[in-house]
């Protein structure tokens, strides 16, 4: 490899970043600039610039780069409703990413997935359970997604005043959530109210509060404009309204879609020019090689290209790539931090907190001293169901069967049978199953659900999906329901453990289980976390970040991006399980919320403080997720039924009471005009605080009202 020169001004740490960037870009040729705008950027030895691959992933752990701690999939981490814990996970991931990056450099490995610019988090709203990539998100609510997205961005990027730890990249901007097979050509049509109320707030929060240094554009068009070349979304909203300072990267192949699928341009040169002129700085793909032709054709100027190149090199300088490692505090993280005991313990804690108890008629928790237990189902011994997608690899994956074996008494007989195939229509071996379950067990744990074979990204490995990554049906796949009915008929206590990245239609399933435990795709410590819950060493408190409908008849058309009838905020039908729902082995009671004012005024707006006493009235210590919902009672424009505007996960000992305090800012009271303009109307607001939504009889919510005057 040629020796790189370092006696250039862009290596001079005494200069400010702007001058270093200007000097570097000023010494580059047009061809060199264009080459640096590709995700696989080549070296420029004469300028001392090493090769760099911008493509890296860390959705729930450093991905696709060998060994790393595998945390639960994003949708599971969302179910924990725990901002500080998610920040800790992101901080651990960024430690591992930094350690892996610097070790790779020592090995002269500058390949894909060992860099410092991460295309995470995925903060698209999970508006429809059929979407295969919904598992990568933080659920269906923009407020929950915003708070978790901000925590994750901050955990990745660090708080050093000089250096970024990593670059976080919220994606896919904007209005993107399936169908997967249509994503390269689809035009997402939304009204201005839905756009501002539902699809933009969490991106705004990640940019303004989370300080995200990068944003990834989506494949699709939104309101006629391709997202990776949209003057409205990339320039007017992202940069001018929100003050975004970083760089925009295209989704992979999205620029090619301009002329191949969207048909908004006629050639690669036109597509490349359109994207760069409108603010997409980095091309995941190769279309930007046509920028040279675009300059020759007068479609774009070199000065316009310089804007993007400067943004890219500012990020690299802020990451410390042009400074000695001794000057960059994050460069000292040792390789031993990867999968260290602290991180594997954190993976177990996150997996525990993500578990949602959907039903329990007293079957749980189980005794560790059972004489016999049967563990049956296609996910009981499945590593695939632990990993999810966009994953790293661990040498010590703990399956549900492993976790149960490690938990029960050495005097307990544990029988295992796959039961049925995950999704194929193969016959269930009835005689074998009945013998295992009836003759040899005091309890049955059926481990069923999905894996990324059935749901995921288009072209991303969901080989058994009938919808190109999406799910055409959302019930239990294959013959799993038949297996469950067979197990139920034995008369033994039956606990259903579900592994999935999305909601499952459980209307027909629920009667056949004494308890239902939803563990998502729980990561490398998933089996231990499941066993902790099943046997009472951990009291579950996870909450659903998505609505579980009773059937697909309750869902609007998948291709319709209007929010009417979607998610808990706008759905009028009664679902099977509500957003925010989750049971516990203990019980909690709520006092009446108190506020620091009974009215507010547009002339003198001020933060509103809401406090409520929460008591553990049960016999076990446990966590409670305290949720605050706001309802605009007398709005003259369409508004959500109610919307989450605060949550805290707290731990209470049996009999303990704690006062929980929320602060609401003026922005949290707004509704939107038909033109998408925010406003606060004079009228009445209801504030409801509880362990679930206001209309959830299990949540124990109590309410108060507050008025807004002109």
Tell if the pTM clears 0.95, that is, is over it. Answer: yes
CATH of the domain at 418: 3.40.50.1700
Q: Do both 201 and 298 map to the same domain?
A: yes
pLDDT category, 231, cuts 50, 70, 90? very high
- The residue among 708, 645, 646 whose CA lies nearest residue 679 is 708
Rounded CA-CA distance 654/293 in Å is 71
**Per the structure block, which two tokens stand in for 79?**
């179910």
Rounded CA-CA distance 279/461 in Å is 31
Whether 553 sits among the annotated catalytic residues: the reply is no
pLDDT at 2 (0 to 100) = 42
Q: Do both 179 and 284 map to the same domain?
A: yes
Q: Is the pLDDT of residue 127 over 80?
A: yes
Q: Do both 327 and 355 map to the same domain?
A: no
Structural domain harbouring 162: 9-337
Q: Do both 331 and 373 map to the same domain?
A: no
Rounded CA-CA distance 14/20 in Å is 9
Cβ atoms of 516 and 359 closer than 8 Å: yes
Q: Is the pLDDT of residue 528 over 70?
A: yes
- Mean pLDDT across 100-125: 97
Rounded CA-CA distance 39/284 in Å is 5
Q: Is residue 568 part of a domain?
A: no
What's the whole-number average pLDDT of the chain?
A: 96
Task: For 236-286, write each residue's pLDDT tens digit.
Answer: 999 999 999 999 999 999 999 999 999 999 999 999 999 999 999 999 999
Choose, from 91, 182, 251, 696, the residue flagged as catalytic: 251
- Mean pLDDT across 391-399: 97
Rounded CA-CA distance 435/372 in Å is 13
Q: Is residue 544 part of a domain?
A: yes
Chain Cα centroid distance, residue 205 = 15
Task: Give DSSP secondary structure letters for 45-83.
Answer: GGGTBPPEE-----BTBS-SSSB---PPPHHHHHHT--H
Name the DSSP class of 37.
T
Q: Do both 611 and 524 map to the same domain?
A: no
Q: Is residue 87 part of a domain?
A: yes
> In sequence order, what are the beta bridge partners of 705?
686
pLDDT category, 604, cuts 50, 70, 90? low
- The residue among 144, 93, 100 whose CA lies nearest residue 123 is 144
Percentage of the chain surpassing pLDDT 70? 98
Q: Any idea what the Cα angle at residue 552 is, between residues 578 and 72, rounded to 5°?
A: 55
Q: Residue 271, SS3?
A: helix
Q: Is residue 184 part of a domain?
A: yes
- Mean pLDDT across 314-318: 98
Task: Give DSSP secondary structure letters for 198-264.
Answer: IISHHHHHHHHTS--SEEEBPSSEETTEEGGG-IIIIIIIIIIIT---SEEE--TTHHHHHHHTS-S
pLDDT category, 652, cuts 50, 70, 90? very high
Q: Is residue 678 part of a domain?
A: yes
CB neighbour list of residue 564: distance below 8 Å, 6 or more residues apart: 556, 570
Q: How many CB atoms lie within 10 A of CB 461?
A: 13
Q: Do both 235 and 377 map to the same domain?
A: no
Q: Is the pLDDT of residue 440 over 80?
A: no
Q: Do both 96 and 244 map to the same domain?
A: yes
pLDDT at 603 (0 to 100) = 67
- Mean pLDDT across 295-306: 98
Identify the top-confidence range among 291-305, 427-441, 670-684.
291-305
Give the least confident one: 324-338, 489-503, 589-603, 652-666: 589-603
Q: Do both 321 and 377 map to the same domain?
A: no
pLDDT at 600 (0 to 100) = 78
Task: For 534-590, write each residue's pLDDT tens digit.
Answer: 999 999 999 999 999 999 999 999 999 999 999 999 999 999 999 999 999 999 999
Cβ atoms of 155 and 86 closer than 8 Å: yes
Q: Is residue 583 part of a domain?
A: no
pLDDT at 460 (0 to 100) = 85
Task: For 448-468, write each residue's pLDDT tens digit.
Answer: 999 999 999 998 889 899 999
In 451-550 the beta strands, taken as DSSP E runs, fall at 494-499, 515-518
Q: b/e map of 297-335 (b: 16 or more CB within 10 Å)? A: eebbeeeebbebbbbbbbbbbbbbbbbeeeebebbebee
**Per the structure block, which two tokens stand in for 641?**
């039924």
Task: For 152-161, write each residue's pLDDT tens digit.
Answer: 999 999 999 9
- The residue among 686, 680, 609, 623 whose CA lies nearest residue 656 is 623
Q: Is the pLDDT of residue 1 over 80?
A: no
Q: How many CB atoms lie within 10 A of CB 657?
A: 13
């Amino acid at each position: 490899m040629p020796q790189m020169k370092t006696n250039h001004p862009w290596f001079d740490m005494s200069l400010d970043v702007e001058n270093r960037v200007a000097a570097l870009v000023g010494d580059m040729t047009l061809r060199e600039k264009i080459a640096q705008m590709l995700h696989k950027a080549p070296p420029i030895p004469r300028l001392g610039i090493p090769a760099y691959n911008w493509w890296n992933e860390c959705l729930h752990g450093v991905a696709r780069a060998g060994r790393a701690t595998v945390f639960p999939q994003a949708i599971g981490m969302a179910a924990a409703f725990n901002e500080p814990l998610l920040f800790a996970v992101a901080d651990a991931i960024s430690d591992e990413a930094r350690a892996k990056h610097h070790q790779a450099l020592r090995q002269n490995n500058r390949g894909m997935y060992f860099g410092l610019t991460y295309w995470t988090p995925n903060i698209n709203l999970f508006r429809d359970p059929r979407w295969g990539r919904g598992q990568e998100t933080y659920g269906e609510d923009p407020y929950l997604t915003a708070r978790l997205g901000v925590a994750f961005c901050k955990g990745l990027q660090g708080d050093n005043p000089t250096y970024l730890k990593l670059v976080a990249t919220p994606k896919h901007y904007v209005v993107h959530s399936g169908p997967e097979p249509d994503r390269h050509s689809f035009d997402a049509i939304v009204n201005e109210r839905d756009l501002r109320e539902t699809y933009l707030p969490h991106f705004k929060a990640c940019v303004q509060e989370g300080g995200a240094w990068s944003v990834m554009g989506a494949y699709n068009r939104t309101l006629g404009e391709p997202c990776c070349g949209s003057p409205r979304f990339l320039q007017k909203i992202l940069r001018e309204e929100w003050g975004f300072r970083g760089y925009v990267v295209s989704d992979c192949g999205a620029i090619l879609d301009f002329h191949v699928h969207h048909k908004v341009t006629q050639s690669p040169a036109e597509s490349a020019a359109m994207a760069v002129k409108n603010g997409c700085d980095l091309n995941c793909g190769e279309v930007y090689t046509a920028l040279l032709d675009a300059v020759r054709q007068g479609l774009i100027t070199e000065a316009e290209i310089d804007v993007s190149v400067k943004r890219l090199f500012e990020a690299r300088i802020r990451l410390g790539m042009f400074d000695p490692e001794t000057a960059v505090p994050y460069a000292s993280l040792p390789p031993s931090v990867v999968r260290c005991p602290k991180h594997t313990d954190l993976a177990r804690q996150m997996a525990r907190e993500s578990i949602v108890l959907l039903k329990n008629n007293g079957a749980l928790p189980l005794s560790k001293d059972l004489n016999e237990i049967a563990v049956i189902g296609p996910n009981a011994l499945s590593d695939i169901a632990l990993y999810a997608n966009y994953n790293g690899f661990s040498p010590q994956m703990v399956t549900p069967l492993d976790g149960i074996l490690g938990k029960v008494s050495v005097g307990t007989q544990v029988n295992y049978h796959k039961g049925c195939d995950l999704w194929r229509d193969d016959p269930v071996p009835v005689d074998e199953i009945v013998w295992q379950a009836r003759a040899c067990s005091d309890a049955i744990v059926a481990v069923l659900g999905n894996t990324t074979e059935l749901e995921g990204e288009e072209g991303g490995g969901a080989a058994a999906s009938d919808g190109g990554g999406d799910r055409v049906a959302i019930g239990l796949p294959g013959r799993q329901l038949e297996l469950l009915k067979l197990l139920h008929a034995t008369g033994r206590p039956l606990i259903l453990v579900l592994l999935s990245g999305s909601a499952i239609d459980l209307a027909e399933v629920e009667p056949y289980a004494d308890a239902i435990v939803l563990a998502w795709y729980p990561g490398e410590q998933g089996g231990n976390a499941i066993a902790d819950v099943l046997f009472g060493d951990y009291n579950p408190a996870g909450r659903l970040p998505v609505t579980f409908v009773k059937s697909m008849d309750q869902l609007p058309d998948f291709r319709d991006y209007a929010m009417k009838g979607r998610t808990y905020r706008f759905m009028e039908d009664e679902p099977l399980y509500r957003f925010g729902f989750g049971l516990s082995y203990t019980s909690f009671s709520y006092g009446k919320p108190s506020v620091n004012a009974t009215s507010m005024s547009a002339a003198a707006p001020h933060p509103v403080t809401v406090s409520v006493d929460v008591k553990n009235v049960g016999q076990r210590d446990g966590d409670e997720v305290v949720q605050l919902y706001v309802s605009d009672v007398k709005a003259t424009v369409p508004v959500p039924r109610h919307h989450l505007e605060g949550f805290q996960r707290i731990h209470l000992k049996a009999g303990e009471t704690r006062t929980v305090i929320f602060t609401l800012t003026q922005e949290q009271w707004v509704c939107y005009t038909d033109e998408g303009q925010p406003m606060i109307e004079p009228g009445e607001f209801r504030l409801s605080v509880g362990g679930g939504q206001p209309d959830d009889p299990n949540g124990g919510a109590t309410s108060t009202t507050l008025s807004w005057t002109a």
